[in-house]
Amino acid sequence: MKHHYFFLTLLSILLLPQALEAQTAETIRTGRPGQSIGAFSLGDGLFQIQSGVYYNPVEFDGFDQTIYGNNTVLRYGITELFEISGVFDQVEFRSDEIADMSRTSIQLGGRYHLLDQQGIIPNVALQSRLSFSDLSDAQVGTVSILSTTINVLDNYTFFTNWKMITMDGVDEAAYAYTVNLSRSLSDRIGVFVEMYGSLSDFSSNFDTGLGYLVNDDLQLDISFGIQDQDGVQDRYIDAGISWRITPD
Residue type, 229: Q
Beta-bridge partners for 65 = 58
Chain-centroid distance of CA 248 in Å reads 28
- DSSP annotation of 129 reads E
208's enclosing H/E stretch is: strand 205-215
CA dist list (Å): 160 to 8, 67, 69: 22, 27, 25
**Per-residue DSSP letters for 65-90?**
EEEEEEEEEEEEESSSSEEEEEEEEE
Map residue 21 onto helix, strand or coil: coil
Check: CB of residue 127 under 8 Å from CB of residue 108: no
Q: Which residues contact 193 (CB under 8 A, 6 or more apart)?
A: 180, 181, 206, 207, 208
- Average pLDDT over the chain, rounded to an integer: 89
Cα–Cα distance, 158 to 120 (Å, whole number)? 11
Check: CB of residue 147 under 8 Å from CB of residue 157: no
Map residue 192 onto helix, strand or coil: strand
Determine phi and psi for 120, rounding to 5 degrees. Answer: -85, -5
- DSSP annotation of 122 reads P
Check: CB of residue 43 under 8 Å from CB of residue 30: no
pLDDT tens, 139-195? Answer: 899 999 999 999 998 899 999 999 999 988 888 899 999 999 999 999 999 999 999
Q: Which residues contact 174 (CB under 8 A, 6 or more apart)?
A: 164, 165, 166, 167, 198, 200
Q: Average pLDDT, stretch 29-56?
A: 96
Cα–Cα distance, 72 to 220 (Å, whole number)? 14
pLDDT attached to residue 24? 74
CA-nearest of 53, 48, 66, 60 to 111 is: 48
In this prediction the pTM is 0.88
Q: Which of 46-55, 57-66, 72-81 has the lowest mean pLDDT?
A: 57-66
CATH code of the domain made up of 4-245: 2.40.160.40
pLDDT tens, 199-228? Answer: 988 889 999 999 999 999 999 999 999 987
